[in-house]
Amino acid sequence: MDQPGMSTRSWISLGFAVLVAFAVRYAAIDARPLWLDEAYSNWFASLSLHDLWIEMPSYETHPPLYYTVLHFWKGFFGSSEPALRMLSLLCSVATVPVVFALGWMCAPRGRQGGAALVAAVLFALWPIQVHHAVDARPYAMMTLAMALYCAAAVALAREPSSVDSPRGRRAAWLVFILSGAVALWLHNTSVISIGLVGIALAVVLMLLEQSRAPLWKVAAAGVVMVVFWLPYLPWFIVQSEAVTANFWIKPLSIRHVVATFFSVFSADGLPDITLPWFGPGDYLKLAVGIPLVALAVCGALRIKREGRWPAAVMLLTAAFAPFAAVVVISLLIRPIMLPRILMAASVPFCVLVTLGLVGMGNRTWRALLLGAICGVFFAAVTNAFYLGDRGKEPWDAVAARVSAESLPGDAIWLYVNHNELPFDYYFDHPEQTRALPQSYPAPGLPNEYPLGILGVPVLSAKDLARLDRELSSLRRVWLITRAGRTEPHQKILQQLITRHMRVRKIWRYGIITVQLFAMDTGPDLRTRADDPALALSAH
């Protein structure tokens, strides 16, 4: 065998890392209310399997696999916040053993146990992983699939003689194919990482074997993945065209690129600070991220010097190539850069950081640096969930405000239509709400779809004329909006309402705005959002 098996001590170390990961994530599982995307997950998981696999792909930008798993999960455990999020939490915790194994494979002989433990603990505390482990979205499950894919690629990127047995190599190919296929069914952007890591594996194997035969092996594996993915491919093309034509993410800037990079590869969640001459910014995240990148580079150089350059190539490719590809796509085609679609890259990066730490000669400095990194990560997670605000979308507070102050006969309008998903989750009387122009989803209308989401249109001129007629018979209207690319359309609706009534109150909850319009003839009670006596904050 190439490496010795795990000892009892190593198994205990793995168990410790798993417990740390579970404890940190479980403590935050209900720290925040559901936000819009999680409400999407809850709504999709309520659909029938027919609707999930036949109807939903025509208007939803994500594949149906995660929603299908959540559908069955929800059937057993319910739709409370912790229940919806527990699936992601368990997927994230299940990734810890994969990171442990990846650290073990890449560590120097004699240090496998220590390196594997450090990698697993770092992943257990890695801020972006903790954030999305308590998010009812597909990203934690996608990270698990991509971690398996990366581990299989690293295992395969060795001389055939160095692998335990032909049976072990076949198992690695099987994991490589199945995890890649599953990742494709979890998120559309997985195709980027799957393709780049696959290309790197083919190149490495061709160099190792001095033959083109590995190219055909990797290509055959890719074909099998595509065959598994083939039923979704037509919808992938449709969704890609919709995103290319119009999408809600703002154009790329240098600040956006840097912020995204260090959200993935640093302590995401640290508070912004203000520096003289530079103004406010996420400088703490930058200060932590630069040393981490330096450690990762040192880790790659170390294993290269030890003659294990294939592992270095695979880890570097899996960590940084997807980020570079997303930058190129965002510049040349359409901005798609979000930290969460790149969070799986923190797995190989975490292993590279570990190898950099293990390579430090002074044991005391190594322990101090590891403790400092873990402390900063814990501080970032604590700040994000407990010391900062409750998130940008406290829909529970919005629903409570409307429930407390609305009167019988009030019109409660949500614009755009997907705002009804999180609002109705918390509102006591969802039958009283109305999504504009139609309840979600509303595909195939002659309206514009500026968000690039084929179920979320904005109001047309015909819709506005209809609402204008309806307003003449209403006395009070609640308008609930969410900041984003539809804000110009929101202003048109607000102007229409003010032709019939005046703004009486305004509350701002992060990126959510609640406005109450009324026909009353008393003094204008327009509130200032920064007045805590009149407008409820996000707390």
pLDDT score recorded for residue 452: 86
| Order of strands, sheet of 512-518, starting from the edge strand that comes earlier in the sequence | 433-435, 411-415, 476-482, 512-518, 502-509
Token pair belonging to 1 = 């065998």
Q: Which residue has the tokens 């037509």?
A: 234
| 106 contacts: CB under 8 Å, gap ≥ 6 | 115, 154, 303, 308, 311, 315, 351, 355
Asked if 202 and 215 count as a contact pair (C-beta separation under 8 A), the reply is yes
Asked if 539 and 390 count as a contact pair (C-beta separation under 8 A), the reply is yes
Q: Are residues 381 and 402 in the same domain?
A: no
Euclidean distance between CA atoms 343 and 325, whole angstroms: 14
Q: What is the CATH number of the domain that holds 428?
A: 3.40.50
pLDDT score recorded for residue 167: 81
pTM value?
0.92
Instruction: Report the share of the chain in percent with pLDDT over 90.
Output: 74
pLDDT score recorded for residue 397: 95
| 9 contacts: CB under 8 Å, gap ≥ 6 | 113
pLDDT single digits (tens) 2-58: 455 678 888 999 999 999 999 999 999 999 999 999 999 999 999 999 999 999 998
pLDDT score recorded for residue 158: 76
Q: Are residues 378 and 470 in the same domain?
A: no
Residue 270 lies in a domain: yes
Q: Are residues 313 and 446 in the same domain?
A: no
Q: Are residues 310 and 442 in the same domain?
A: no
Asked if 518 and 476 count as a contact pair (C-beta separation under 8 A), the reply is yes
In terms of residues, how long is the chain? Answer: 539
Residue 138 lies in a domain: yes
List per-block mean pLDDT (blocks of 10 residues) for the chain, which spans 539 residues: 68 96 96 95 97 93 96 97 98 98 91 94 97 97 98 86 69 96 96 97 93 92 96 89 79 90 94 74 90 96 91 97 96 91 98 93 88 95 76 89 94 97 94 95 94 93 96 96 92 96 94 92 47 35
Q: Are residues 340 and 368 in the same domain?
A: yes
Euclidean distance between CA atoms 386 and 367, whole angstroms: 28
Q: Are residues 363 and 418 in the same domain?
A: no
Residue 538 lies in a domain: no
Count of the separate structural domains present in the chain = 2
pLDDT score recorded for residue 194: 98
Task: State which residues form the domain around 449.
Answer: 395-518
The DSSP call for residue 521 is -
The DSSP call for residue 385 is I
Q: Are residues 383 and 471 in the same domain?
A: no
Residue 165 lies in a domain: yes
Q: Are residues 93 and 111 in the same domain?
A: yes
Residue 534 lies in a domain: no
Residue 293 lies in a domain: yes
Last residue of one domain, picked from the residues 387, 416, 444: 387
Instruction: Name the helix (H) or strand (E) containing 189.
Output: none
Q: Shortest CA distance to 94 belongs to which of 129, 70, 52?
A: 129
pLDDT score recorded for residue 273: 79
Q: What are 64-69's contacts with CB under 8 Å, separation 24+? A: 64/185, 64/232, 65/138, 65/182, 65/185, 65/186, 66/41, 66/137, 66/138, 66/141, 66/186, 67/41, 69/141
The DSSP call for residue 432 is G
Q: Are residues 128 and 172 in the same domain?
A: yes
Q: What angle do CA 113, 114, 116 make, to 5 degrees?
A: 65
pLDDT single digits (tens) 398-412: 999 999 999 999 999
Euclidean distance between CA atoms 483 and 293, whole angstroms: 34
Asked if 28 and 385 count as a contact pair (C-beta separation under 8 A), the reply is yes
pLDDT score recorded for residue 164: 57
Euclidean distance between CA atoms 53 and 56, whole angstroms: 6
Residue 94 lies in a domain: yes
Residue 537 lies in a domain: no
